[in-house]
Structure 1
Amino acid sequence: MQLPESQVAVLEAASADEATSIDALAEATDLPPETVTGAAFELEEEGLVEVSERVDETIELTDEGHEYATDGLPEVALYEAALEAGADEEPVSMGQVIGQSGLEGDAVDIALSNYARKGYGSIDSGEITADPDAEPTADAEANALEALADGAVGTDDDLEEVIDQLERRGLLEVVETTTRDVALTDEGVTELMGGIETTETVGAVTPDLLTSGEWETVEFADYNVEADAEDVESGTVHVLRQMSERVKDVLVGMGFQEMDGPHVDADFWINDCLFMPQDHPARTHWDRFAMEEPSHIDELPDQLVADVERVHREGLGEDSEGYHSPWDEEFARALALRGHTTSLSTRYLSGEEIGEIEPPARFFSVEKAYRNDTLDATHLLEFYQIEGWVMAEDLSVRDLMGTFEEFYAQFGIEDIQFKPHYNPYTEPSFELFGTHPTTGELIEIGNSGIFREEMLEPLGVDCDVMAWGLALERLAMLTTGAEDIRDLHGTLADLEFLRNAEVTY
């Protein structure tokens, strides 16, 4: 029997008594592992060896994981600082506790997002409490990190759940390694005993072979054209981009025009024009991202500012008293990342963006908004909002609900539920909920209502306007089955999921 040199070397190095790994064969034959792998598969085709595969998993801590294994998790540090501040007896200012904890930068957000999840206490309206019965020493994630750093890890189901959570947090990586082993078959042993000759074969046509004319006399190696090719993951349009384009197509098809505007805007356009009182909790530094430089907008329309201030202070008509709370134009001029894209709506409705708009009119945007939220399965610090409004005479809640039913039906969602809600800028108001296709749970997917007269009158609008802000990511969750918003984008995005996710058309 005649075989190429590499195959002969592998056949002679392999054993019939026990399987030998590709790496061990490469060392024994002094051949590259990839050459040994190719030769092994070719020998398997001839029935001379048997190639088996196994997938081994190893767990490796990331740099952040090593840091927390040594210094402790941020949420544990926050809990210990909360105890020192007396938060186990009464709520304490979150700023005070964060200052005592020594946490900075991203560690603060990480601590806040995991604090309540682990039962260390609660965070509400800028104050923090601490559960005196919590046991940081029993923190499963912290203990698992220490065990991994020491190389001592068990395999029980509870630990697997903890490892999954640590992987989602980016504190460890589960590395899969495919190991191939080669063993001689009975036929391979027989052929070896009978003797095998080495044939000189050429694996590729080179310029030297062509110029010398040797290509006419050499023997070329056989190629297995049926062998599996290497998987190549090509680039693709992100599922949120696909969803955004689909939403735009649907809304344009429903007769809407698209709006756009600044991501950084004055609090005046973001909140004051929405009849949001300046002492509203959502307008504190805990919920908004204020700009340091520049810190304030230079110009605002004087008459509109005066009209908005008047309604805030005095209300509108006999049944509206306003807020009787401080109103400061300097605060209204403060710049921040927009917490919702309704700032675009106020700009357009006021006529400041494209001039006066006559009813009937329909506008929308699919743009990014920014909020200092606690990170969880349905909240991120930045997200895409589907903003929309319709200006017409005699609009009702029935019109608003019918619009949503028509819109969501385009995505195969026909079980929308509505719940009454309060907004400073709409009355009546309601939230929208949809059923998650995987978990069966109801998740909030948007907020809506009819704009209040106190908001519309200063803007110069004298007819009805129904409006909404819907969550693009949560629509994507309902259509793709993603259970966590962080699977869609961010540092924890599930790339395998994104490669296979499909947008409903």
Structure 2
Amino acid sequence: MKRPQAQVAVLQAADADDPRRIDEVADEAGLKPETATRAAFELEDDGLLSVTEETVEHYTLTDEGTQYVFESLPEQDLYEAAIDAGADEEPVQMGQVIGASGLEGPAVDIALSNYARKGYGEIDSGEITADPDAKPGQDAEMLALEAVADDQLDEADADALDQLERRGLLEVREETVRSVQLTDEGVAALEAGVEAAETVDQLTAELLTSGEWADVEFTEYNVEADAEDVSHGKEHILRQTANRVKDTLVGMGFQEMEGPHVDAQFWINDCLFMPQDHPARTHWDQFALERPDEIGELPADLVDRVRSAHKEGVGPDGEGYHSPWEEDVARGLDLRGHTTSLSMRHLSGEEIGELEPPKRFFSVEKVYRNDTLDPTHLLEFFQIEGWVMAEDLSVRDLMGTFTEFYEQFGITDLEFKPHYNPYTEPSFELFGTHPETGEVVEVGNSGIFREEVLSPLGVDCDVMAWGLSLERLLMLMYGFEDIRDVHGTLCDLELLRTTEVLH
């Protein structure tokens, strides 16, 4: 019997009594794993070999998990401190025990969230108790960590491993392992004698020109065999959605704006009639630049008009804020906290010249805020900025624009709630329902610019405006529950590779 060389090599390396992993067979046969796998499937089709598959999980400790292996889990430290403080006899102030434990920062929250769960004791009304019968030395999760570190997975509790994965102390990677074993027909074929046939797997120019193609034997291809999984680059799903947003707004008659990421507080806040002592203008909410620390030039006439609006108000009934307004503060450079700075530059005529209504402009660009990181907040994110300049605009026009826009993305359950902004009146926030959790998620803020904003800019008609979150739109479209899975240093690459793009 003659068979392709790769098949002969796999047959000779396989065993009739015990299954052998395909990578071991490939190594012994001197073949690439993918070549040996293809040959094995071809032999299986002919009944000479059986191929079995199993999923094997590989566990790897994270840096935090490795740290705990050499030290201890935070909840163990908290328990030991509680015992030393006498919490096994009567409740002790939690602050006293935490201080004695040496735990700091996030480790405190980790310890508190796992302490009662593991039966170490109770935490109630600022006091902590310790169960004298608890055995931290036999903590299943700690033993599982040590088992992974020592490559002794047979000794690890499965539930403990799952809990460690949820805690981010170990990572799990699944691998499909294929094994082969000779069938009775395969053994008989080897006993009868199997010879390697000289085969060709590529039709080359030389074979064609020489005419040898007519005499050679070509390798058979199993088109149903699994191909090697190769991860390739693709456009990020956030960028895909941003481009789709741009196409949608252009289709609705809008033009795109662009502008600096670093800008003067004058454009970011002052033109928006935000008082200079507003809490959102402190370092707790904004990122200021150290070098350079202020803008080179500002339009003097516009500065005077904005100063007047802040200090004296606009119109016969305007009062302003009666609070200090300093040009040095307005000149300070920050990373923009919203792209409304672009709107101010355009509406004032400083960016592209004086505008005549009706006009529609938008931008989809990054903004920066000193927020606390959580599933719906990042330090930098994309804002969908937009505004419409026209006569006699109303809230109904604004709501209708949002309804038309979000319907393009399959979102039809928008909710609106009145809101206060220093720069718009009336104002309202937009909400949508998360498709997985059912929670109501804020997706944007909007309103009609106040006279105190428009008058200094020289605009004498209505302007309705908004700032929407691109990431929140993504959450409603795809059901993502944590935007940190989508972009940032901890993003889930496998999620990005496998998520089907919605059109």
TM-score range, shorter chain: 0.7 to 0.9
- Conserved in 2, the CA contact under 8 Å of 1:264 and 1:338? yes
* Partners of 1:29 and 1:253 in 2: CA distance: 61
Alignment of 1:11-26 (within 5 A): 11-26=11-26
Distance 1:402 1:39, change over 3 A: closer
Alignment of 1:197-216 (within 5 A): 197-204=194-201
Instruction: Report the counterpart of residue 375 of structure 1 in structure 2.
Output: 373
- Conserved in 2, the CA contact under 8 Å of 1:277 and 1:323? yes
Instruction: Report the counterpart of residue 82 of structure 1 in structure 2.
Output: none
1:325 Cα deviation after fit: 3.0
Distance 1:361 1:5, change over 3 A: closer
- TM-score w.r.t. the length of structure 1 is 0.78
1:28 Cα deviation after fit: 4.7
Render the CA deviation track for 1:372-400: whole Å, top value 9, x for unaligned: 22222222221111111122233222221
Number of residue pairs aligned between Structure 1 and Structure 2: 460
The runs of 5 or more residues in structure 1 that have no matched partner are: 78-87, 90-99, 104-110, 121-130
Alignment of 1:298-447 (within 5 A): 298-317=296-315, 320-447=318-445
Render the CA deviation track for 1:83-122: whole Å, top value 9, x for unaligned: xxxxx98xxxxxxxxxx9999xxxxxxx69x9699879xx
Distance 1:35 1:450, change over 3 A: closer
1:160 and 2:162 correspond: yes
Render the CA deviation track for 1:352-390: whole Å, top value 9, x for unaligned: 112222233222111111112222222222111111112
* Partners of 1:176 and 1:219 in 2: CA distance: 42
SS of the residue aligned with 1:330?
A: helix
Instruction: Report the counterpart of residue 84 of structure 1 in structure 2.
Output: none
Distance 1:256 1:214, change over 3 A: closer
* Partners of 1:216 and 1:417 in 2: CA distance: 70
Distance 1:34 1:335, change over 3 A: same
- Conserved in 1, the CA contact under 8 Å of 2:144 and 2:160? no
* Partners of 1:27 and 1:409 in 2: CA distance: 56
1:326 Cα deviation after fit: 3.1
Distance 1:492 1:219, change over 3 A: same
Instruction: Report the counterpart of residue 459 of structure 2 in structure 1.
Output: 461
Instruction: Report the counterpart of residue 281 of structure 1 in structure 2.
Output: 279
Alignment of 1:92-107 (within 5 A): none
Instruction: Report the counterpart of residue 494 of structure 1 in structure 2.
Output: 492
* Partners of 1:69 and 1:447 in 2: CA distance: 47
* Partners of 1:420 and 1:69 in 2: CA distance: 52
SS of the residue aligned with 1:277?
A: coil
Instruction: Report the counterpart of residue 251 of structure 2 in structure 1.
Output: 253
Render the CA deviation track for 1:250-294: whole Å, top value 9, x for unaligned: 222222222111111011110111111222222222221222221
* Partners of 1:474 and 1:376 in 2: CA distance: 13
Pick one of 269, 272, 282 that aligns with 1:271. Answer: 269
Render the CA deviation track for 1:472-494: whole Å, top value 9, x for unaligned: 12112222222221232223333
* Partners of 1:33 and 1:118 in 2: CA distance: 49
The runs of 5 or more residues in structure 2 that have no matched partner are: 78-93, 96-101, 115-124, 130-135
Which letter does structure 2 place at the counterpart of 1:47?
G
Instruction: Report the counterpart of residue 121 of structure 2 in structure 1.
Output: none
SS of the residue aligned with 1:379?
A: coil
Instruction: Report the counterpart of residue 217 of structure 2 in structure 1.
Output: 220
- Conserved in 2, the CA contact under 8 Å of 1:412 and 1:504? no
Which letter does structure 2 place at the counterpart of 1:55?
T
Distance 1:72 1:215, change over 3 A: farther
Which letter does structure 2 place at the counterpart of 1:223?
E
Distance 1:164 1:203, change over 3 A: farther
1:220 Cα deviation after fit: 3.4
Which letter does structure 2 place at the counterpart of 1:423?
N
Q: Which moved more, 1:309-318 or 1:483-492?
A: 309-318
1:196 and 2:198 correspond: no
- Conserved in 2, the CA contact under 8 Å of 1:202 and 1:218? no
- TM-score w.r.t. the length of structure 2 is 0.78
- Conserved in 1, the CA contact under 8 Å of 2:165 and 2:171? no
* Partners of 1:384 and 1:307 in 2: CA distance: 31
SS of the residue aligned with 1:368?
A: strand
SS of the residue aligned with 1:248?
A: helix
Which letter does structure 1 place at the counterpart of 2:55?
V
Distance 1:209 1:309, change over 3 A: closer
Distance 1:369 1:49, change over 3 A: same
Distance 1:497 1:431, change over 3 A: same
Instruction: Report the counterpart of residue 59 of structure 1 in structure 2.
Output: 59
Distance 1:231 1:357, change over 3 A: same
Which letter does structure 2 place at the counterpart of 1:40?
A
Give the alignment's Cα RMSD to 1 decimal.
Answer: 4.1
* Partners of 1:455 and 1:365 in 2: CA distance: 20
Which letter does structure 2 place at the counterpart of 1:202?
T
* Partners of 2:260 and 2:366 in 1: CA distance: 10
SS of the residue aligned with 2:23?
A: helix
1:8 Cα deviation after fit: 3.6
Which letter does structure 2 place at the counterpart of 1:197?
V
Distance 1:368 1:61, change over 3 A: same
1:214 Cα deviation after fit: 11
Pick one of 167, 177, 180 that aligns with 1:179. Answer: 177
* Partners of 2:385 and 2:354 in 1: CA distance: 19
Instruction: Report the counterpart of residue 41 of structure 1 in structure 2.
Output: 41
* Partners of 1:143 and 1:275 in 2: CA distance: 60
* Partners of 1:10 and 1:503 in 2: CA distance: 41
1:150 Cα deviation after fit: 5.6
Distance 1:264 1:326, change over 3 A: same
- Conserved in 2, the CA contact under 8 Å of 1:479 and 1:503? no
- Conserved in 2, the CA contact under 8 Å of 1:239 and 1:502? no
Render the CA deviation track for 1:169-201: whole Å, top value 9, x for unaligned: xx75432222211112222233344x2132342
* Partners of 2:439 and 2:343 in 1: CA distance: 32
Distance 1:355 1:140, change over 3 A: farther
Which letter does structure 1 place at the counterpart of 2:46?
E
SS of the residue aligned with 2:288?
A: coil
Distance 1:28 1:439, change over 3 A: same
- Conserved in 2, the CA contact under 8 Å of 1:49 and 1:185? yes
Render the CA deviation track for 1:193-223: whole Å, top value 9, x for unaligned: 4x21323423456999969x89579853532
1:52 Cα deviation after fit: 0.7
1:3 Cα deviation after fit: 3.4
Q: Which moved more, 1:231-240 or 1:484-493?
A: 231-240
Which letter does structure 1 place at the counterpart of 2:435?
P
